[in-house]
């Protein structure tokens, strides 16, 4: 785990650019997500969740460790629609994945919708359009 280096970089960035949010993402970091939250909370603003972790689980960890909405410096979650859903899914599957991810993260104000790790080569452009349209229009479950 690269925590000491990540903290050092975050501290330098914060000093140089105090108003710029700091985003941390460790691809494949799901097995040690709790440790990332514990160690990096207070140093970063946003933590990425890869596609191998359920967003509900990431949100629970954030809340359990006191880095969520109720804390003085809450961590925002970023992620984690599976890029294979975007690559191979149909329109309904993609839109449902967007809605499910937003809801699982706790809704608006706590989440930056993204893929779990980048757009795969060969992903149809219309699939990216479905993703973006749903992200722009979905207001959360009521």
Q: What is the mean pLDDT of residues 73-93?
A: 93
Averaged confidence pLDDT in the chain: 90
Positive or negative torsion for Cα 85, 88, 93, 99: positive
What pLDDT, on a 0 to 100 scale, did the predictor assign at position 35? 93
Q: What is the pLDDT of residue 132?
A: 96
Of 134, 76, 139, whose CA–CA distance to 103 is shortest?
A: 139
Residue 18: pLDDT band with limits 50, 70, 90: very high
Q: What was the pLDDT predicted at 74?
A: 81
| Cβ-proximal residues to 26 (8 Å cutoff; 6+ apart), any chain | 2, 36, 48, 50
Confidence band of 138 (pLDDT split at 50, 70, 90): very high
pLDDT at 58 over 80: yes
**Rounded-to-10 torsion of CA 99, 104, 108, 114:** -70
pTM for the structure as a whole: 0.87
Residue 22 CB neighbours (<10 A): 17
Judge whether 92 and 98 are in contact, CB under 8 Å.
no
Q: What is the pLDDT of residue 141?
A: 75
| pLDDT score, position 142 | 55
């Amino acid at each position: 785990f690269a925590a000491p280096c990540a903290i050092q970089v975050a501290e330098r960035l914060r000093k140089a650019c105090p108003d710029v949010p700091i985003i941390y993402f460790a691809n494949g970091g799901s097995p040690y997500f709790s440790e990332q939250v514990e160690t990096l909370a207070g140093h970063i603003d946003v933590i990425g969740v890869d596609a191998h972790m359920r967003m509900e689980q990431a949100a629970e960890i954030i809340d359990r460790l006191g880095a969520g909405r109720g804390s003085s410096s809450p961590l925002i979650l970023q992620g984690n629609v599976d890029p294979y859903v975007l690559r191979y899914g149909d329109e309904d599957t993609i839109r449902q994945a967007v809605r499910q991810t937003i809801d699982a993260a706790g809704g608006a104000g706590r989440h930056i919708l993204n893929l779990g790790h980048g757009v795969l080569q060969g992903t149809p452009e219309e699939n990216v359009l479905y993703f973006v349209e749903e992200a722009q229009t979905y207001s959360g479950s009521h």
